[in-house]
Amino acid sequence: MLSTEPSTPLVVLDLLGIFVFAIAGALVAVRKNLDVFGVLVLAGITGLGGGVLRDVLIGRTPPAALVDWRYLAVPLVAGMVAFVYHPALGKVEPSINVLDAFGLGLFCVTGAQKALDAGLGPAPAALLGMVTGIGGGVMRDVLAGRVPAVFRGDLYAIPALAGAIVVVVGSYLDSVPFAVVAFTGGGLCIVWRLLAIWRHWQAPVPTGPASV
């Protein structure tokens, strides 16, 4: 989503990230046999949901996604592309997952920064950075009738939280420029997420029998 003073390159990056997230969301909808409307909604929710949730929680309404029409147009296009070309897209899904990691790295950084800009403390800002990155996917999974993938071992949220924490810590280091902090945080998230995909890292599950 847009930074407080969005520069053109950042907006382009932001829209690219939303596009990738939206493609991933639309593919979930296709696999669940949803209709064209469901595909478009899941594309939009996955691409924009995390940022909208963050904006509502920090009281920044209407959310950025409802102020700039390009934020609605991008998931619409992504959803239509996925609706038509899903067999081809499904075959290159490993590549989509790699691009998705870049989107995650971007959103955890911009999300944490916006929460700091809104005056939130360090712990909530880091949390909202992570929420910006993963919130859309969680909503997508709930709407598609499945338990969110981020709760089932997929190492996705913890890299996003780590990236957001870097941004929060960096904001207290006056001597370090924001660009350095942003690249460090985003890079940490992206590298960790890519390693998790590559090495099949999983988040730990509880051990021992669950009482009923």
* Binding residues vs its own copies (CB under 8 A): 27, 29-39, 41-42, 52, 56-59, 61-63, 66-67, 69, 72-73, 83, 86-87, 89-91, 93, 118, 120-124, 127-128, 138, 142-148, 150-153, 157-158, 202-206, 208-212
Say which residue the tokens 């996705």 belong to: 156
Between 160 and 166, name the residue whose CB sits nearer to its own copies.
Answer: 160
The CB-of-63 to its own copies minimum distance in angstroms stands at: 7
Q: Which is nearer to its own copies, 72 or 195 (CB)?
A: 72
Write the single-letter amino acid at 205: V
What residues pair up with 202 in beta bridges, in sequence order?
154
Contact criterion met (CB below 8 Å) for 47 and 14: no
Q: Which is nearer to its own copies, 123 or 173 (CB)?
A: 123
Q: Where does the chain have alpha helices with state H?
A: 8-31, 36-57, 70-91, 93-117, 122-143, 157-170, 178-199
**Residue 13 or residue 68: which is nearer to its own copies going by CB?**
68
* Residue 168 C-beta: closest distance to its own copies, Å: 12
Smallest distance from the beta carbon of 197 to its own copies, in angstroms?
Answer: 16
Which tokens go with 92? 């290159």
Q: Which residues pair with 154 in a beta bridge?
A: 202
CB of 177 to its own copies, least distance (A): 27
10 neighbors 108 (Cβ within 8 angstroms): no
> Residue 201 is encoded by which pair of tokens?
């890292």
Q: What is the SS3 assignment for 154?
A: strand
For its own copies, the closer of residues 175 and 207 by Cβ is 207
> Rounded to the nearest whole angstrom, what is the least distance from the CB of residue 156 to its own copies in the complex?
8
